[in-house]
Amino acid sequence: MDSSFFFGLSTMAYILAMIIYITYIAFKKNQIGILATTVTIIGFVSQTLAITLRWKEFADFIGMGFIRSAPLTNLYESLVFFVWCLILGYLIIEFKFKNRSFGAFITPIAGLALAFIDISGMSKEIQPLVPALQSNWLLAHVVMSFIGYAAFALSFSTGLMYLIMTTEKRNGSSYIFWTLTFGIFLIVLISMGIDFLKFHVVVKPEIFIKSYMFKTSFLNPSSVVKAISWITAIIIFFIIWRYGHILKTVIEKFNITPEMLDEITYKSIAVGFPIFTLGGLILGAIWADQAWGVYWSWDPKETWSLITWFIYAFYLHSRMIRGWRGKKVAIVSVIGFMAVIFTYLGVNLLLSGLHSYGSA
Amino acid sequence: MEEVKNNKITDKIWDFFASVKLAIIIFALIAITSIIGTIIEQRAEPAKNIEVLTKLFGESLAPGLYTIFEKLGFMDMYRSWWFIALLVLFSVNIVICSLERLPRIWKLVKEPIGPMSEEQLKKFPIKRELILKGKIDKVRETITGAIKASGFKNYKENKEEKSLQFFAQKGNYSRLGVYLTHFSILIILAGAILGMSLGFKGYLNLPEGARSNVAFSYNGKEIPLGFNIRCDNFDVEFYGRSDMPKEYRSWLTIIENGREVLQKSIVVNDPLTYKGVTFYQSSYGLITENFNRGIFILRIVSGDSQISNLNLRAGDTFQIPGTSISGKIIDFSPALKIDRHGHAFTYANQMNNPAVYIDFSESGKQLLSGWILKRHPETWQLPGGHRVEFLDYWGVEFTGLQVRKDPGVWVVYLGCIAMSAGLFIAFFMSHRKIWVKAIEEKNNTRLLIGAFSNKSSVAYERKIDRLVSVINKRQEGGK
């Protein structure tokens, strides 16, 4: 059995777990909850095995020793590791807060991300390491960055849930903020899905996102299609804005209080921030110093990491010094994660710079 | 107070810098301008950024916007005066805001704690109450033992009427973690300034066999090194048969006062440092004007294993030892490929697949001719068991070195360590206080525990529960 077998197994387990978690929320039977947790743990264990096996396959392939063969060198491997961190973080929260409802939110993200890798035809092949990546810093830098990203992802989902739960009035700014955010995510996903159906056979996924994103909808050469896309987008926004309170009633069934969400948001950031600072910024700077002779070169990846860092620093200061709680900081945590997504994917896919190997 | 009144202007300046509004404005300005800086490619050809702007704003606006952005310094914005000014403002803001809060925090750190009344203890966020059998004197050891076991080594004792109170605090200094973190930002910025003012950044393209006693800054100025550096060889290694590079390696020698003082081969991630100047492997290339002046390094092995090592130039002839076969070097390609029709052509302008074309003849009679490829040993074999190994074509490549001297880098590293330590203290340590009041009631002792932590009280509450269970266990064990 090789790594791909266990990757497949973990993908199935996460999708199955998602269904069981949703059933659990509907019926609130303890046995179902335990089953959901068990399936998630099975998925997690098989994913751990898969990563370990791939690590070994990688080490055998490039022959550069164990530490330098960490399977974290391209988009596929980093997405897999991100999902692994996310599930680990979720299991810790489930254990600490003794609350399972949250799993219905996290396991779909995990299952969908892994399924997305499969469908998109992203290159899963083991690629040899280019000279710049042959360093012992790779492991610590990437692992810690991704633990940080995963913690921020958790804070994003709890922050967003907080906003959904606590906003009442449709003309309130927090309500508009979360429906807008939700809408943007949904519209980007939908239009990328359409692009994908139309173009993915022709090109590799990296090139796909770089040159074909929104080409079927918002950037279509025909102005009629362009106009229809914008009108559809506005209609989607309107529907989410009009019926957003349905999500609120759904989340209220989860047995989660807003205070708890606020606390999980804060704690995830309080763990993610120092780890991201050390692993992403500091270790990244030390490595850059060794490889390129500059510890800080304002390369787009570095700059975006710094912007992300600023946003979370702002979150922490506004909370600790100004005593902000609730909606205001939840909004900051949502914005923070958008910066994370851009640092992780957007920079590699849309901007050029020294860090460009992450996109391959 | 008198003093404060006397310095009204300085007071105003202080308040200006201490304001949170200013902090937010600076934060936002740094973030927004940085974002623009990642979209506009820094120090790039104007055409490139005009293209970017055309994509974003359309053809009619792009040239005008380019001029505006260029005038504002956005084409090299991280070095522009206003961005550096923003960073300076940011540091001043950090210093002032930190100082502003320091007295209050310092008081919390230094303040000794005193005994509490029963009513006060009952108002604590974490509180426990339990009854122990026996008078205070009997349970005293149990209580102090449990307090010590929870990590409060220096507890104090207060004798009250019919009761005894113990109290302690620890981790007072963890409140200063945030100051260490803020201070570390200043250390890092100071290190950066030190490096910029006392060091240099440059590059040096060094051909194989050449030496240099200067590097070049990015605006073309010569920077004297104080010693000579020579490139002895440069080579790219590839993965298997692919064109994917595995390693770029330069063999370098440092020469000072005519003596070779240091030799090292460098690769990416493993530079060479001499007298504070560091040389990094950063690029490479072909020197086209040297193309016919390079040296072919060949190793000839005859069918009966006679070996000769040769250094030849284009047009030279050589003999296969022990035979009358001679070879003549006719042509060279840095990256040879054979197309479908069997024609050879050069497919890259790097040494991806070096090949040499040799004419062989025996006593004046043409024997055979063909390409011999460095990366394909099967092309080395000749009929009759002879072998011509093409080892290198030396002297036509240059190694691109990044040259840097940065005396501030250690200050930056120190700042990084301080930041890691500061963050660890600020996020993972807390200032914890505990009070245990033992009140004698008949033959029993009633224990009142109150505790406080400036961070997550959940973890501390669990710790207090453990303390309670330790007391209970000792009590049972003591009976």
Q: What is the domain-level CATH number for residue B439?
A: 3.30.160.110
Residues for chain A: how many in total?
A: 360
Distance from CA of B28 to the nearest CA of A (A): 9
Give the mean pLDDT of chain B.
89
CB contact under 8 A, B31 and A322: no
Give one DSSP letter per residue of B223-256, joined into a string.
EEEEEEEEEEEEEEEESTTSS-EEEEEEEEEEEE
The mean pLDDT of B245-272, rounded to a whole number, is 94
Which of B21, B38, B425 would best serve as a mutation to test chain A binding (most A beta carbons within 10 A)?
Answer: B38
Nearest CA in chain A to B269: A291
Among residues A238, A213, A51, the alpha carbon closest in space to that of B55 is found at: A213
Give how far Cα A164 sits from Cα of A327, B239, B314, Å: 10, 52, 76
Q: Are B102 and B121 in the same domain?
A: no
pLDDT of residue B256: 95
The mean pLDDT of B54-66, rounded to a whole number, is 83
Count of domains in chain A?
A: 1
Exposure string for B373-412, b = 16+ CB within 10 A, e = fewer:
bbbeeebbebeeebbbebebbbbbbbbbbbbbbbebbebb
The fraction of chain B above a pLDDT of 90, given in percent, is: 46
pLDDT of residue A148: 95
Could you tell me if residue B330 is inside a domain?
Answer: yes
Domain extent at residue B56 = 2-108
Q: Are B85 and B230 in the same domain?
A: no
The mean pLDDT of B304-311, rounded to a whole number, is 90
Q: Highest mean pLDDT: which of A195-199, B70-74, B240-244, B414-418?
A: B414-418
Sign of the torsion angle spanned by Cα atoms A207, A208, A213, A214:
positive
The shortest CB-CB distance from A291 to any of B24, B268, B416 is to B268
Nearest CA in chain B to A278: B420
Q: Are B16 and B101 in the same domain?
A: yes
Among residues B444, B469, B478, the alpha carbon closest in space to that of B136 is found at: B444
Could you tell me if residue A203 is inside a domain?
Answer: no
pLDDT of residue B372: 93
The shortest CB-CB distance from A307 to any of B35, B269, B456 is to B35
- pLDDT-based confidence at residue A357 (cuts at 50, 70, 90): very low
The shortest CB-CB distance from A307 to any of B34, B281, B426 is to B34
Distance from CA of B308 to the nearest CA of A (A): 34
Could you tell me if residue B345 is inside a domain?
Answer: yes
pLDDT of residue A219: 77
pTM: 0.88
Q: Are B449 and B468 in the same domain?
A: yes
Domain extent at residue A117 = 3-183+258-358
Q: Highest mean pLDDT: which of A243-247, A328-332, B137-141?
A: A328-332
Q: Are B59 and B83 in the same domain?
A: yes
Could you tell me if residue A69 is inside a domain?
Answer: yes
Distance from CA of B177 to the nearest CA of A (A): 12
Could you tell me if residue A209 is inside a domain?
Answer: no
pLDDT of residue B180: 95
| Angle formed by the axes of helices A137-166 and A173-199, nearest 10° | 130
CB contact under 8 A, B409 and A270: no
Could you tell me if residue B385 is inside a domain?
Answer: yes
Set of chain B residues whose Cβ sits within 8 Å of the Cβ of A347? 38
Q: Are B143 and B211 in the same domain?
A: no
Q: Is residue B146 scored above 70 in pLDDT?
A: yes
The mean pLDDT of A8-16, rounded to a whole number, is 90
Among residues B69, B115, B180, B118, the alpha carbon closest in space to that of B426 is found at: B180
- pLDDT-based confidence at residue A48 (cuts at 50, 70, 90): very high
Pairing of strands B444-453, B126-133: antiparallel
Distance from CA of A135 to the nearest CA of B (A): 6
CB contact under 8 A, B269 and A131: yes
Q: Is residue A334 scored above 80 in pLDDT?
A: yes
* Interface residues from chain A to B (CB-CB < 8 Å): 127-128, 130-132, 134-135, 267, 270-271, 273-274, 277-278, 282, 285-286, 289-296, 298, 300, 303-304, 306-307, 310-311, 313-314, 317, 321-322, 347, 351-352
CB contact under 8 A, A131 and B247: yes
Q: Is residue A74 scored above 70 in pLDDT?
A: yes
Which is more confident, B71 or B8?
B71
Set of chain A residues whose Cβ sits within 8 Å of the Cβ of B201? 293-294
The mean pLDDT of A252-259, rounded to a whole number, is 82
Q: Are B80 and B129 in the same domain?
A: no
Count of domains in chain B?
A: 4
Could you tell me if residue B178 is inside a domain?
Answer: no
Among residues B314, B316, B295, B309, the alpha carbon closest in space to that of B394 is found at: B295
Could you tell me if residue A327 is inside a domain?
Answer: yes
Q: Is residue A12 scored above 60 in pLDDT?
A: yes
Could you tell me if residue B471 is inside a domain?
Answer: yes
Q: Are B221 and B196 in the same domain?
A: yes
CB contact under 8 A, B402 and A295: no
CB contact under 8 A, B269 and A295: no
pLDDT of residue B477: 65
The shortest CB-CB distance from A291 to any of B35, B269, B426 is to B269
Q: Are B282 and B402 in the same domain?
A: yes
Q: Is B46 strand, coil or helix?
A: helix
Residue type at position B220: G
Residues for chain B: how many in total?
A: 479
Q: Are B97 and B119 in the same domain?
A: no
Q: Are B101 and B7 in the same domain?
A: yes
- pLDDT-based confidence at residue B183 (cuts at 50, 70, 90): very high
pLDDT of residue B151: 87
Distance from CA of B368 to the nearest CA of A (A): 39
Q: Are B315 and B193 in the same domain?
A: no
pLDDT of residue B212: 95
Distance from CA of B246 to the nearest CA of A (A): 6
Contact B431, B175 (CB under 8 A): yes
pLDDT of residue A205: 58
Exposure string for B155-192, b = 16+ CB within 10 A, e = fewer:
beeeeeeebbbbbbbbbbebbbbbbbbbbbbbbbbbbb
Could you tell me if residue A200 is inside a domain?
Answer: no
pLDDT of residue B3: 47
CB contact under 8 A, A286 and B404: no
Q: What is the pLDDT of residues A126-181, one digit of tens each?
A: 778 888 888 889 899 999 999 999 999 999 989 998 999 998 888 888 899 999 98
Set of chain A residues whose Cβ sits within 8 Å of the Cβ of B421? none
Q: Is residue B4 scored above 60 in pLDDT?
A: no
Could you tell me if residue B179 is inside a domain?
Answer: no
Could you tell me if residue A158 is inside a domain?
Answer: yes
pLDDT of residue B435: 94
CB contact under 8 A, B20 and A311: no
Task: Mark which of B108, B140, B155 sits at the end of a domain.
Answer: B108
CB contact under 8 A, B244 and A130: yes
Could you tell me if residue A346 is inside a domain?
Answer: yes
Could you tell me if residue A219 is inside a domain?
Answer: no
